[in-house]
Amino acid sequence: QFKKAPPNSLFGDQPQNELVLRVQPNEAIYYRMLAKTPGLSSRAHEVRRTDLDLDLRKLEVGRLPEAYEKLIHDVIQGEGHNFVRADEVEEGWRIFDPLLKHLESDAAPLPDSYPKGSRGPPSSDELIESQGFRRYTRTGISTSMA
């Protein structure tokens, strides 16, 4: 969900816009937003909730294959674009193996602790703010940053 508009804004108290990425099952992408009501007779403050929807199951393209079914089909067809080559795997390990070894060593930094069910340690908000961003919650600005 995106940041909620102030309650005394032009459109009053309205729901937040949201971008939804839904993965397995029923994959879909949609952007739910407020849009001005069309027409010459509508006023500037008249808005309604609308969706930009990319739900492939709603298209009439026949049966859509399951995720692994498509990958197996690509293998049979000799299509390699969804797969990593051996040299790519080796290069990945060359880059990340030293980092993993360091994280498993006694010299590795300990992660910050935080209460179960919380949004995470306060240091995460501090990091976000140090980069010039602000973290928002459902009701506005995070209490740790207000």
Residue 140 has pLDDT above 70, yes or no: no
Whose tokens are 């969900």? That residue is 1
Residue 134 has pLDDT above 80, yes or no: no
Would you call the peptide bond into 25 cis, given omega within 30 degrees of 0 as the criterion? yes
> What is the value of pTM for the model shown?
0.39
Whose tokens are 């508009």? That residue is 5
Kindly tell me the sign of the dihedral angle through the C-alpha atoms of 25, 29, 35, 39: negative
Please tell me which residue, 125 or 57, carries the higher pLDDT value.
Answer: 125
Amino acid, res. 25: P
Instruction: Please give the distance of CA 6 from its chain centroid, rounded to a whole number.
Output: 23
Whole-number pLDDT of residue 119: 79
- Work out the number of other CB atoms within 10 angstroms of the CB of residue 128: 14
Residue 96 has pLDDT above 70, yes or no: yes
Per-residue model confidence as pLDDT tens digits over 36-80: 777 776 666 677 788 888 776 677 667 777 778 888 888 899 888
Could you tell me which residues come within 8 angstroms of residue 16 by beta carbon, excluding any fewer than 6 positions away? 1, 2, 3, 4, 5, 138
- Work out the number of other CB atoms within 10 angstroms of the CB of residue 35: 12
Residue 141 has pLDDT above 60, yes or no: no
